[in-house]
Structure 1
Amino acid sequence: MSPPTRPRPTRRSSVKLTVTTFVSLDGVMQSPGGPEEDRSNDFDLGGWLVPYADEDMGAIVGGWFAGADALLLGRRTYDIMAAYWPDVTDPEEGKINVLPKYVASRSPRTLTWQNSHLLEGDLATAVTELKSRPGRELQVHGSGRLIESLLRSELVDELRLLTYPVIVGKGQRLFETGTSPAAWRLTDVKSTGNGVIAHTYQYAGKPAIGTFEVGADGKEQNVLAAG
């Protein structure tokens, strides 16, 4: 008898899972906010987004945070945020402290940030259950390895990428070799005074492929592959 298989995650769910991350022009997402965030693999260019931070960027990110009903974070991103946000006393900015925070980690750990919960068991199953609950958004911020897993399981509904006008040249990239193929539909574009571009994409299924051909009328046409 073959072992039972996990049900394929459905795209139809109550809560929208959104991914927000900062990337350089060459796709690097490692340690954007400071040198100490992530020095793994001798990365010494942490803080590459800081020169581009301005009120425009804050308004964009703040608007996205306002739609969150809960956060889903990888271990490293959780540790970075947990070291900063509990000390924020501004009532508006500090709303993040009371949100439920779900942490994907392979090792048992003590979570000290208010309303934090460690996800147990199979990640895709746990996240699918979270998405089945009523609400607006389950938001992922940073968390590169977690994003890879969620993309493989086709659980991400929306990508929000803040692209900075800098080439970092090394470091962990958002889409590493082996990322699952997927098509995305652009739904919104914003820009900041410092040249940061915020793209919002909605999941659009498997990518189509095709070829360019010259028709009988001599005009070029694009022909999509069947299936």
Structure 2
Amino acid sequence: MARVTLTTFLSLDGIMQAPGGPEEDREGGFPYGGWLVPYADEDMARLVADWFAEADGFLLGRRTYEIFAAHWPHFTDENDPIASRLNALPKYVASTTLDRLEWHNSTLLGDDVPAAVAELRKRPGRELQIHGSGALARSLMERDLIDEYRLWIYPVVLGTGKRLFADGAVPTAFELLDTVTTGAGVAIQVYRPAGRPVYGSFALDADE
């Protein structure tokens, strides 16, 4: 059975909007696009390449698909660890507005995205990878369809923007699987969902 993995870039205050450039996502008047670029280094490139090597396919939201489709098909080097995977492997796209996809090996997921992903997840394979794609990720979180979270935490506070874990997210506990820090100071935390949170109290008993 394939695992669904999520890789996303977050500020210290949980913002995931437009990390790679000013024009990625200006929704809501977001003025801080490109906030991760100063922290890109060789460690980031190596780790991203290692994870892309494990992909059997990609799950992409509409906005992320359009960003990727405008960029990666122009990189035709078969030895490029990212372009070679993105251009060749299946890409499954969640969208209610697109009716056709031009990028090679791309397929629309249909109206019931969680159900479609649940079926894909049953197939043999290694990883179906989500990159960015916040709305898609949140819809799959609600159904417990993400098997591993790879959260890149950048040392910057933005104060506004879209968050991965928005208000109303399903309460979830996580198990930490790995943690790595890049030379630029980015903390990468790898988590596996561990069911619902368990609650307690430090309050003293009335009899004590």
TM-score, structure 1 normalization: 0.86
* Unmatched segments (≥5 aa) in structure 2: none
Identify which of 84, 97, 100 aligns with 1:95: 84
Q: CA deviation at 1:120?
A: 1.1
CA–CA separation in structure 2 for the residues paired with 1:46 and 1:189: 26
Alignment of 1:196 with 2:183, yes or no, is no
Cα RMSD, aligned residues only: 1.3
Paired residues of 2:16 and 2:164 also in contact (CA < 8 A)? yes
CA–CA separation in structure 1 for the residues paired with 2:132 and 2:141: 14
Task: Indicate the residue corresponding to 2:129 in structure 1.
Answer: 139
Identify which of 18, 24, 27 aligns with 1:31: 18
Q: For residues 27-83 of structure 1, what are the alpha-carbon distances to aligned partners after superposition, in whole Å with 9 as ceiling and x for unaligned? A: 000000000100111111100000000000111111111111000000000000111
SS of match in other structure, 1:83: helix
Q: Which amino acid aligns with 2:62?
A: R
Task: Indicate the residue corresponding to 2:31 in structure 1.
Answer: 44
Q: CA deviation at 1:212?
A: 2.1
CA–CA separation in structure 2 for the residues paired with 1:162 and 1:61: 11
Identify which of 72, 84, 91 aligns with 1:85: 72
CA–CA separation in structure 2 for the residues paired with 1:54 and 1:109: 37
* Unmatched segments (≥5 aa) in structure 1: 1-13, 219-227
Structure 1 stretches of at least 4 aligned residues deviating more than 4 Å after TM superposition: none
User: Where does 1:90-129 land on structure 2 (aligned, <5 Å)?
Assistant: 90-93=77-80, 94-96=83-85, 97-129=87-119
CA–CA separation in structure 1 for the residues paired with 2:111 and 2:103: 21
Task: Indicate the residue corresponding to 1:150 in structure 2.
Answer: 140
CA–CA separation in structure 1 for the residues paired with 2:167 and 2:204: 33
TM-score, structure 2 normalization: 0.94
Q: For residues 163-194 of structure 1, what are the alpha-carbon distances to aligned partners after superposition, in whole Å with 9 as ceiling and x for unaligned? A: 10000111111111011111110000011111
Task: Indicate the residue corresponding to 2:5 in structure 1.
Answer: 18
CA–CA separation in structure 2 for the residues paired with 1:75 and 1:83: 12
Larger gyration radius, structure 1 or structure 2 = 1
- Identify which range, 45-54 or 86-95, moves more after superposition: 86-95
Number of residues paired by the alignment? 203
**Are the structure 2 counterparts of residues 108 and 90 from structure 1 closer, same or farther at C-alpha, using a change threshold of 3 Å?**
closer
Q: CA deviation at 1:124?
A: 1.4
Q: CA deviation at 1:207?
A: 1.1
CA–CA separation in structure 1 for the residues paired with 2:31 and 2:10: 16
SS of match in other structure, 2:201: strand
Q: CA deviation at 1:214?
A: 5.5
Q: CA deviation at 1:89?
A: 2.3
Task: Indicate the residue corresponding to 1:223 in structure 2.
Answer: none
Q: CA deviation at 1:107?
A: 2.3
CA–CA separation in structure 2 for the residues paired with 1:80 and 1:89: 17
CA–CA separation in structure 2 for the residues paired with 1:114 and 1:18: 22
